[in-house]
């Protein structure tokens, strides 16, 4: 898969691309990442890429001409998805990463400053994407996140073919607990089921662990997850367990409040 990254700061990508999974994927020819400096496509002697917005306001906007010239020069009319990183974009998800990994070539424009001239969207952008509800200094970090997440879905990029399908969100659930050696550390033991070699039992335990973790941390994900009848029963049991703990916590809080009140009465 080929990535075309358009940025004002291509050097920011060097360390990410020269380590770990992305480095090995590039060395094996599974991933090609081309970095394009938007400043190289500015035509004035100062290579200006940003200007104040018309109508006033704080900050600077990336100019339309260098970006459009860069994208059109690199893509040469080829129909390629062009993503703009922007806080206003649709939320980047695991499902989107898997979808984009089906593309043979993908372009990403890294936003900067207060954003880009609106005509960039109108002329070259096919999709706007945000990695979360917060603002970064620029889209380079967002592009790196997307690049890494998408690359994990490419064939043979990961050492274990089962890794990506078992990642959090891939199955609609958060990933459950994992353990490795030693089997005991400071009194905390690895669950016995993981040590017995029964692959079926291990698979069931991991699924239940994922269900429990999703219930506790991101219960809204369960609304769209594909669940068996047994798993729905387990969730019912978890709900009852949670309700019992909540009731116990309320009772403890009420008892503590009464004790504090009595202590104050004794004081006065």
Q: Is 83 annotated as a binding residue?
A: no
Tell me how far apart the alpha carbons of residues 214 and 84 are, in angstroms, rounded to a whole number: 31
Whether 117 sits among the annotated catalytic residues: the reply is no
Q: Is 132 annotated as a binding residue?
A: yes
Tell me how far apart the alpha carbons of residues 246 and 214 are, in angstroms, rounded to a whole number: 18
Q: Is 136 annotated as a binding residue?
A: yes
Whether 114 sits among the annotated catalytic residues: the reply is yes
Whether 118 sits among the annotated catalytic residues: the reply is no
Q: Which of 50, 121, 140, 152 is catalytic?
A: 152
CA angle 57, 58, 63 (to 5 degrees): 85
Q: Is 131 annotated as a binding residue?
A: yes
Tokens linked to 180: 């490795």
DSSP state for residue 92 in the 8-state scheme: P
Are 81 and 94 contacting, i.e. CB atoms less than 8 angstroms apart?
A: no
Tell me how far apart the alpha carbons of residues 130 and 118 are, in angstroms, rounded to a whole number: 17
Residues in the chain: 268
Q: Which of 167, 175, 208, 231 is catalytic?
A: 167
Tell me how far apart the alpha carbons of residues 155 and 33 are, in angstroms, rounded to a whole number: 16
Are 64 and 120 contacting, i.e. CB atoms less than 8 angstroms apart?
A: yes
Q: Is 187 annotated as a binding residue?
A: no
Q: Is 74 annotated as a binding residue?
A: no
CA atoms within 13 Å, Cβ hemisphere of 16: 17
Q: Is 113 annotated as a binding residue?
A: no
Q: Which of 87, 148, 175, 213 is catalytic?
A: 87
Whether 87 sits among the annotated catalytic residues: the reply is yes
Q: Which of 69, 105, 114, 208 is catalytic?
A: 114
216-237 in b/e form (b: 16+ CB < 10 A) is: eeeeebbeeeeeeeebeebbee
* Catalytic residue set: 87, 114, 152, 167
The binding site for S-adenosyl-L-methionine comprises: 111, 131-136
The binding site comprises: 111, 131-136
């Amino acid at each position: 898969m080929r990535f075309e990254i358009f940025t004002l700061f291509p050097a920011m990508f060097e360390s990410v691309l020269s380590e770990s999974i992305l480095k090995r994927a590039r060395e094996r020819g599974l991933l090609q990442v081309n970095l394009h400096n938007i400043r190289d496509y500015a035509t004035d002697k100062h290579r200006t890429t940003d200007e104040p917005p018309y109508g006033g306001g704080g900050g600077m906007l990336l100019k339309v001409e260098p970006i459009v010239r860069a994208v059109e020069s690199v893509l040469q009319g080829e129909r390629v998805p062009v993503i703009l990183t922007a806080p206003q974009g649709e939320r980047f998800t695991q499902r989107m990463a898997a979808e984009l990994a089906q593309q043979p070539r993908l372009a990403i424009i890294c936003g900067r400053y207060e954003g880009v001239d609106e005509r960039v969207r109108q002329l070259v952008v096919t999709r706007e994407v945000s990695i979360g509800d917060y603002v970064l200094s620029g889209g380079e970090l967002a592009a790196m996140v997307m690049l890494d997440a998408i690359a994990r879905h490419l064939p043979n990029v990961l050492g274990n073919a089962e890794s990506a399908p078992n990642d959090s969100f891939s199955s609609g659930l958060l990933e459950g607990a994992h353990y490795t050696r030693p089997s005991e550390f400071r009194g905390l033991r690895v669950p016995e089921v993981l040590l017995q070699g029964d692959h079926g039992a291990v698979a069931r335990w991991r699924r239940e662990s994922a269900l429990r973790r999703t219930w506790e941390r991101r219960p809204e994900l369960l609304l769209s997850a594909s669940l068996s009848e047994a798993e729905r029963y387990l969730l019912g049991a978890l709900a009852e367990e949670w309700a019992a703990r909540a009731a116990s916590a309320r009772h403890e809080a009420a008892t503590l409040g009464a004790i504090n009140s009595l202590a104050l009465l004794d004081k006065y």
